[in-house]
Amino acid sequence: MAIDRRQFLQGAAAAGVGVAYSGLGFGQSAEPVRLGLLTVKTGPLASGGIDMERGLELYLKERGGMMAGRKIEVIVADTGGSPATALTKTQELVERNKVHVLTGPLAAFEALAIDDYVRTQKIPILSVAAAEDMTQRKANPWFVRATSTSAQCAHVMGHYCATVLKYKKMIVIADDIAYGQEMNAGFQRVFEENGGKVIQKLFPPLTAPDYGSFIAQLKTDADAIFLGFAGSNGFRFVRQFNEYGMSGKMKIVGGMTALDESVLRNMGDEALGLLTVCWYSAELNNPINVKFAPAFRKIYGYDPGFYAAATYVNGDVLNAALTAVGGNAGNKDALMAALKKTSVQTARGPVKFDTYGNVVGNVYVRRVERKDGRLVNAVVETYPDVSQFWKYDAKQFLANPVYSRDWPPAKNLQ
C-alpha cells in the first residue's frame, strides 16, 4: 500500500499524540478521526483548491490537530477539477484510507459525480460546491453545506438592488454553466418580484477567450449589470468593460464569486466601489474571523476568500458535531444527525442547517474599498439568517423546476 509522505507524517504525528494522550487518560482517542479533503491542486481551479487546503490546515494547526479531544488525520486528494477523478479519489479515500468524513469538493460537477457513491457508502460530507439540487429536489441525506447554494446569496443581491439601490432595469450575465445559470435565475426572481426588470440575459461560454463581443451588445439603458461569474472571469469582464468605455454608463454588482478576495489581490483601482454579495468577507467583524483572517494573511500574505473560509467554517461545523457525539466518528448515522443539528458560531457568523442539510446563515453585501494599501470587501449590509429558499415556503419553492437559463422565465427582455 502506497502511503504518501504527507499522510505518513500526519499518521506518525497522530500516533505520537495518541500515545501521549492515552497516558493522560484519554484512552478512547487512540484512533484518529480520518477526514478526507477533496480539493483541486492542479489545473484551472487550483487557486481555490489550494485555498481550501490552507483554510483547513490553519484550522487544525490552531487546535493542535485536535477536534473534540480526538486527533484529526487529514488525507488530501487532488481531483484535478475533473468529475471522473473526483469519483476515483473519493473511492480511494473511503475504501483505502477509510475516512470517516469528507469535505469538499470544490465544483458542482464534482459534487454531482460523487453524489451516488456518497449515498451508497453513507459517508457524511461537508460540501463546498453550490449545486442547488444537492440540498433541494434531490437532497443527498449525507450532505451538509455550510457555504451557499448557487442562488442563496444572489437572492439577497436581487432584493438589495431593487429595494436599496432602487435599480429599475438590469442586465444579468454569467458563465454558461449550471452554477451561473442558477445564480442569475435566483437574482432575477427576487429582483423582478421587488419591482425591477431584467432586460437582458447573457451567458458567455465558461472559457470565452474575450468578452468584447458581449460588452458591445449590452443594452445601455440598463441601470446596472449583475455578474454571476466564477473564478477570474469576473475580473476579466470588469477590466474589458472599462476598456470599452462602459464604466460611466451603468453600475456593476456581482454574485458571491465575482470579485472574491482571491481575485481582488490581483486587481487595481478599477474594482473600487463595486458591490458584491457573499456569505463571507475577510473583513467580517465577528470574534472568530477577527482572529482567522489576520492569521491567514500573516502566513500566506493575502486575505482568505470564499474557498479558504469554506473549509475553515466546515472545520467549526465538524468540530461541533464531533463534540456532540463525544468524538465517536465511527457511528456515521449519529455523526450525520449531529452535523445537521449543528448550531455554531463560525468565521462567517452563526451557522445552522435546514432539514435539507443546507445552511441558514448571514449573507453580506460588500463594497470594494482600499484599506492599508490592499483591496478589501468591506461589509455594507448584513442580511441575517438567509435560507436557500429566501423568503419562500420550502414546499412551494421545491414545486418549481430547478433554476436554469429559462426558469423563471424572463418576461421583460428588450
Partner 1 sequence: MQFWQIQTLNSFALGGLLFLLSSGFALIFGLMRIANLTHGALFMLGAYVAVSAMRAGFGLALAALIAALAVAAVGGLIERLVLRRLSGNAQGQVLATLGLSFIASDFCLIVWGGDTIPIQTPAMFQAPLRLFGLIFPTYRLVVVGIAIVVGVVLYLLMERTRLGAMIRAGVDDMQMARAVGIRASALFTIVFCLGALLAGLGGAVGGPIFSAYPGLDSDMLSLALIVVILGGIGSLVGTFVASFIIGFIYTFGTALLPDLAYVILFLPMVIVIAFRPTGLFGTIKT
Select the residue interacting with partner 1 from 18, 204, 315, 361 (CB under 8 A). Answer: 204
| From candidates 120, 207, 285, 355, binder to partner 1 by CB under 8 A | 207
**Which of 185, 175, 198 lies closest to 400, judged by CA?**
185
With CB under 8 A as the contact rule, which of the stretches 23-31, 43-51, 71-79, 285-293 interacts with partner 1?
Answer: 43-51
Comparing CB distances to partner 1, the nearer of 264 and 321 is 264
CB atoms within 10 A of CB 231: 18
Residue closer to partner 1, measured from CB, 46 or 224: 46
Which lies closer to partner 1 via its Cβ, residue 262 or residue 342? Answer: 262
Q: How far is the CB of 226 from partner 1 (least distance, A)?
A: 17
- Map the footprint of partner 1 across residues 245-264, applying CB under 8 A: 245, 262-263
409 touching partner 1, by CB under 8 A:
no
**Window of 28-36, 108-116, 143-151, 236-244 that interacts with partner 1 by CB under 8 A:** 236-244
Interacting residues of 405 by C-beta distance below 8 A, sequence separation 6+: 181, 185, 201, 203
Among the listed ranges 36-44, 118-126, 318-326, 362-370, the one in contact with partner 1 (CB under 8 A) is: 36-44
Amino acid at residue number 387: S
Closest contact distance (angstroms) between CB of 340 and partner 1 is 33
d(C-alpha 91, C-alpha 108), whole Å: 18
In the complex with partner 1, the residue whose CB is nearer, 206 or 378, is: 206
50 binds partner 1 (CB under 8 A): yes
Please report, as ranges, the residues that interact with partner 1 according to CB under 8 A. 42-50, 176, 202-205, 207-210, 212-214, 216-217, 231-232, 235-236, 239-240, 243-245, 262-263, 265-268
